[in-house]
Structure 1
Amino acid sequence: MAIMTALDKTLSFQEKALNLRTYRQQLLASNIANADTPNYKAVDIDFAKTLQQAQAGRGMSVDLTKTSPMHLDGNNTAMGDVKPMYRTSVQPSIDGNTVDSNIEQAQFSENALNYMATLQFVNGQFKDMQEALRGNN
């Protein structure tokens, strides 16, 4: 049982980081998909600040809003109190859309690389733990 507790503590940070990276990837993908939608406002999260809050025990959930009676009730408690922020538009468009495709695609790519790096780090931790349990040097 002590091994499981140690494993949980070891992977807790990476779990939170991966959950936030996944959520941020969804936000960025939505921004890119709505690049031509009039009056769409690009959103993002402050990853570092949100992760610090999660580590401080402030939870990570997302408030979901129903904009149609056809929508399902959304209680995403996995993310705690994550509040997406509107991205400041570098160059406003005539139709009110604040998505800058170049910025969104760069942020999307950077977030995907960081996600993969975290996965590789977790994979390395698992390998190290397996070797420790086997008694290999």
Structure 2
Amino acid sequence: MIGKLDEALRFHETALSLRAQRQQLLASNIANADTPNYKARDVDFNAALGQALARAPGTAGPAQLARTQASHIPAGSATATSGGADVQYRTGQQNNIDGNSVDMDVERNQFADNALRYEASVTLIGAQIKNLLAAIQG
């Protein structure tokens, strides 16, 4: 019984975790809008969610990679992954003169969209839990 409940909520747990990580990346982009040579970063949410759900239940985090040389970047590095999601550089329409690729209009829209979808997921989870409690209590 507990396994079925866990499986039913696993999708939403994974989606909320990825949304939170994406929100951090978008906030970082906004915070670095005036930093010379900063490149805007983001994750492909659909691909990251698919990868996270494809992992076997009970496995936490990305697979560990072997570092054969000290100069290799660790797998947990913020530049390589964000909680298992591949971080990509956003290609902008036009870079600033200082090499910064942050477009504040795009970043604000993505930030608001991601926040709205996060809140919708939280509301949906709350409704599912309320339905489960109603079924249990009779």
> Shorter chain as normaliser: what TM range?
0.7 to 0.9
**Aligned AA (1:20):** L
Match of 1:99 in 2: 102
CA RMSD of aligned residues (A): 1.8
4+ residue stretches of structure 1 with deviation over 3 A? 58-62
Alpha-carbon distance in 1 for matches of 2:33, 2:61: 28
Alpha-carbon distance in 1 for matches of 2:123, 2:4: 20
Is 2:87 the counterpart of 1:89? no
| Deviation, structure 1 residue 87 | 0.3
What do the CA deviations read for 1:92-117 (whole angstroms, capped 9, x no partner)?
Answer: 11100000000000000000000000
Alpha-carbon distance in 2 for matches of 1:18, 1:52: 13
Alpha-carbon distance in 1 for matches of 2:128, 2:12: 10
Match of 1:10 in 2: 8
| Deviation, structure 1 residue 60 | 4.5
Alpha-carbon distance in 2 for matches of 1:94, 1:17: 37
Is 2:124 the counterpart of 1:121? yes
**Aligned AA (2:47):** K
Match of 1:64 in 2: 77
Alpha-carbon distance in 2 for matches of 1:53, 1:106: 25
**Aligned AA (1:96):** G
**May I ask how many residue pairs the two structures share in their alignment?**
121
**What stretches of structure 1 of length at least 5 have no aligned partner?**
67-75
State the TM-score, normalized to the length of structure 2: 0.82
| Deviation, structure 1 residue 6 | 1.6
What do the CA deviations read for 1:33-74 (whole angstroms, capped 9, x no partner)?
Answer: 0000000010000001110111111764472259xxxxxxxx
Alpha-carbon distance in 1 for matches of 2:97, 2:10: 45
* SS in structure 2 of the partner of residue 98 of structure 1: coil
State the TM-score, normalized to the length of structure 1: 0.82
